[in-house]
Every structure is written in structure tokens, then in C-alpha cells.
Amino acid sequence: MSRPISTRWTSALLLLVAACGSSSGGSVEASGPPNGQPEGPAQVRLVSPLPNGEWTLPAGDLANTRYSPLAQLTPQNVKGLKIVSTVTTGVPHGHEGNPLVVNGVMYVVTPYPNNLMALDLTKNGQLKWLFRPHPDPRSVGIACCDVVNRGASYADGKIIYSLLDGHVVAVDAEKGTEVWRATVGDINRGETLTAAALAVGDLVIVGNSGGELGVRGKVVALDVRTGHEVWRGYNTGPDNEVLIDGTTKMFYPHDQGKDLGVKTWPVDQWKLGGGTVWGWLSYDPETQTLFYSTGNPGVWNPDVRPGDNKWSCAVFARDLKTGHVKWVTQLVPHDSWDYDEINENIAIDMEWQGKMRKVLLHPGRSGFMFVIDRETGEVLSAEKFEPTNWASSWDLKKGEPVKDPTKQTKHGVVVKNICPSSTGAKEFSPSAVSPRTGMLYIPAHNTCMDYEGVDANYIEGTPYLGASVKMYPGPGGYQGELIGWDLKTQKKAWSIQEPVLPLTGGVLATGGDLVFYGTMDGWFKAVDAKTGAVMWQMRLGSGIIGNPITFLGADGKQYVAIYAGVGGWMGAVAFPDVSEDDPYAVLGVVGAMKDIKKYTGPGDALYVFSL
């Protein structure tokens, strides 16, 4: 990797700025631990450490930590970081997810048409092969929020990933030929696949998208070798289809009972109930448990679906081999704001009140930072990390939010100034944790909204919404914030406020005590993991909504890679064919993003950096 893969530069790239402390509008706020709290970081143990300088899974490891022990790059030398390679994918849409690095080859999955590129890192990034899966083009018109893809997994000599049209494909990592293709979703019913498939042992797990089209959320386990379905678990409906039985142990009384996935809905509404799984999957090897969270209930108008609407907006723990549900905890019963809780569940062992606990870290779209016992589903802590007023708090004893009735949305009434907005206090963009600092690094939003429930008619394969929404920047003069969250105190240790646009890109933490992240206006930054001080930054050719990775090259040097290609739900307003005149457009997000075209435009680039 001694010279660029590509020298195609846009006019924006000619304006690259790389300087420690260069102005991009961000500001750092730091705070120490509260009085009476012990000094020093929380003790954190990784349950699935990242191996040998490669990046073979969506989050690097099975537990979703997005932590790499590589330490060649440090706060002292990172100012020398420079671009060593660029590649264009030819698809100027939202580049979510991240590449993989396996056996000296980098694998890049594009947005629709979901091409897979293999770049030989031992030959200066030369294109080794290009696989074109040719998904059904009808899926483009069905996908809710841009034609994105969140990445792939490597297993059994294959690159395995989702296609927008409801299929999962396995490609021979050496030859670039298709090994198998499995049908998981039906685009005729509104199902698409945008989530990253997670390979664990001899299984690969994937969830469906389409919560705004009246689909029924599910996860499906496929055989890595053949693509044959091993088990399927739905998130709404009767217990036998959700895979709940007498051995399932729900922690909270209101989550206990038979067939709550039916009884907490109006008649047959659970069949259109959403609860999809378009976020991240994680796994605990010690207990062989799969964890994931579910999306919003359908429809957005809460008056159409009285009841708790289980198991939408919930965290699931399933046995990997059988899909059997070990426990479920619903975080937002009767969601009235589109608070998909699809965000990552990071599995770590952590010191908690004087002893080590097996926990999940779940920074929720609802604005609460949850710490959950991963053996029982008990919520140990739920603190607000962004302006949040739909609930005053989260009652740990009862296991439910304390909702503010003045922020309850309803049919035919415009309820104003609800925080956060439907895009959440944090989107799908994944956090990272560092065992060295005892911190979680959260890429957050600060947007609020006005919300009115309206009529909705279900027609298979078409939008099924039932709400009129207008979003706008939240209080405080910023829209994005990178938060260094102290796991011992469950408070912000420091934060970097981004005034221009929300953060919708992921985070990487490293053994060199650096945190990497990107902004929607195109800045890629490295900050001191302990203090939040910005040590290096560079303006790229498009907004960043992807996730950084790091790896060792064939020369033994540490590299960092990131996509720059704005898009997704919020970033779609940057596309030329999207008007910023109607604040209710793009499911209400235009009101918060009306200025995005001033700062960025579509892109399709992969960047690789090193000293």
C-alpha cells in the first residue's frame, strides 16, 4: 500500500485540509466525575477480542465493541496521518457500514446494486475481482431510507452479505464466484435487507428491514456452508413463532405472560407490526447467546394500535443454535414516536457496584443509555445522554419509562417540541468501547420534532406510516455530539459538539488511545480517547455515515479506512433530487437537514490512511 489505488480526485478533494486543531466547528466540553464517585476508569473485560490485525466481521469482533488493540497510532504521532489510497465505488449513495480485511484482501460492499469489490492489499490495492449480484431493481422503490448496505461477514472462506431485494448471498473470497443465495425477505410485501449479516460458527444471522411498510420483523439463521435456513424467529405474534416457551425467563412482570406478541396488539395488527431488525447483532461466546434489538411498531399513529405492542422496541436474547428466546426486555412499550431501538448491544464484562457483571451497553435511540444484565435482561442503569423530554426518567424497579403525558402523540393532534425526534438521540451509527479508558464513545444526535398521528391504509408493499412529522435542531446550538461516556459514573466525561449536522457515522476505539469518527459534513477526525482533544482531522469529499476500521498491512504498518458517501435517512437530503423546501418531506427529516447541501454532496469513495 505504498501508493494510491486511484488518483481520481473531485474538486472537493482538492480542498483537503489536514491539521491538528483545524476549525470544523466542533467544540469540546469536559467534566470530571461527580462528588463521591471513585477516580479511575471502570474495569472492563472484552468477551470477544478482535484478533490479529484483521477485520472479518461487521464490528470487528462478535461483541460489537469496535475496539482494536492496534497501538502504532497514538495521540502523539497521529498528526502525521495521511491518505495513502482511495477507491471509488461508482455508486453515489449512502455508504454505511465498513469494509472487511481478510488475508491481505479488503472487501467492499456498495449500496444497491450491492456489488462486492475485492482489493489485493499486497499489490497496492489492485482490484482482484468484482462480483455483481444483480438484485431485483424493484427493491429500490421499496426501500425506506436510501439504498444502503451495512456490511458483510467473513466465514468458511466466504464473504456473506445482504442484498436489498431480500436475499443473502455468499461469495467465494478467493475466486469472487457465488456459492449460494438464500431468500430471507419478500419485496412484494415490503421487506428489504440493509443490515449486516453476522457470521457465528456455522451459522449466519440476518434481520429484515421495512418497518414503514407494514412488515413483520424477524431474524433468520442460515447454514454458512449451504445457505439453508436453520431457524426463524419472529418478533411479533404467538409464542411458538417468536420461539418463546416455558423455559424463557422474562425479568419484569409486565413482560411475562403467554402470547403477549398477540395480546398486546389489536386483532391481527401484529401481522403488520414492524419490530424489524435493521441494526446490529452481537454474540456472547461464553453463553452462546445472540443479542439484538427491534424497531418501531407499525403504524406510526399510536392510536391505531393500543397496547404495549410487544415485542417492538425491545432487546432479545436468543440461543444461537435453536433461536429459542432466553429473555426479552421491552425498552419503549407502545412506542408513539418511532423510536426504533435497533441500536447495538455491546457485550462486555464490567465492574458494577463493586463486582463484575455480564452486561450489554445499549445507547438507545430513545435518548437513554441502557446498561442491561445480559444473563437476565434486568436494566441496571438508564441515564439520558441527549436532550430527552418524552419521558422524565426510566423506572429501574418497574422496568419501564416514566412518560410525560404532554408529549404523548395522538391522532389528529400536533404535539410540539418532542425530543429526541424520530431519528433518535442516536441513529444506527455504532458506538465503540475501550477497556483502556473504561469509556463508551457515542455518536449522537440532537434533533426534536412536531408529530401528528394521521390515517393510514395498509396496501401490501407500499408505505404504511400514519404520522405527519417535522424535525428541527434541538436545544443548545448543536446537532451532533461525540460523547465520551464514563461507564463507572454513567455520565459524560467529555463531548465534542458538532454544530452543523448530526453524527450518523460510527466510531472506532484503538489500543493507542485514539477514537476515530466522521461527520456528515465530511470531516474525519482522530481524538484523544481520554480527553476528547482533537489530535488530527481531514476534510473528505463527501459526508461520512460509515464506520472506521483499522488493520495491519502486509508491511506491518497500521492503517485506518473509512467510507465517504453521504446518504441514509438524514443524509438523503443532500441528493440533488430531494428538495429542501418542504420540512415534512423524507418522513419529516428535511426540517432538520435543510442546510446540508451547503456542506456536502453525494460521494462514493473509500479512503485508506497511514503514517
Residue 343 among the catalytic residues = no
Residue with cell 410540539: 416
Quick one: how far is CA 558 from the chain centroid? 25
Q: Is 611 exposed, middle or buried (0-12, 13-18, 19+ CB in 10 A)?
A: middle
Nearest to 407 by CA among 383, 389, 425: 389
- 414-418, strands of its sheet edge to edge: 414-418, 447-453, 467-473
Q: Are 161 and 195 in contact (CB under 8 A)?
A: no
The catalytically annotated residue of 98, 115, 235, 296 is 296
| Residue 589, CB-side half-sphere exposure with 13 Å CA sphere | 25
Determine if residue 273 is left, alpha or beta; phi over 0 gives left, psi from -120 to 50 gives alpha, anything else beta: alpha
**303-188-259 Cα angle (round to 5):** 45
Nearest to 485 by CA among 42, 67, 25: 42
Q: What is the DSSP string of 369-427?
A: EEEEETTT--EEEEEE-S---SEEEEETTTTEEEE-GGG--BBTBEEEEESS-TT-SS-
| Residue 269, CB-side half-sphere exposure with 13 Å CA sphere | 25
The catalytically annotated residue of 191, 212, 375, 452 is 212
Q: What is the CA radius of gyration of the chain?
A: 22
The three grid cell numbers given for residue 189, joined into one nine-digit string: 410485501
The catalytically annotated residue of 146, 284, 338, 341 is 338
Residue 452 among the catalytic residues = no
d(CA 85, CA 140): 31
Q: Are 93 and 164 in contact (CB under 8 A)?
A: no
Residue 344 among the catalytic residues = no
Q: What is the DSSP string of 422-485?
A: TT-SS-S---EEETTTTEEEEEEE-EEEEEEE------TTS----EEEEEEE-TTS-SEEEEEE
Bridging pattern class, strands 507-510 and 67-68: parallel
| Residue 180, CB-side half-sphere exposure with 13 Å CA sphere | 16
- The residues annotated as belonging to the active site are 212, 296, 338
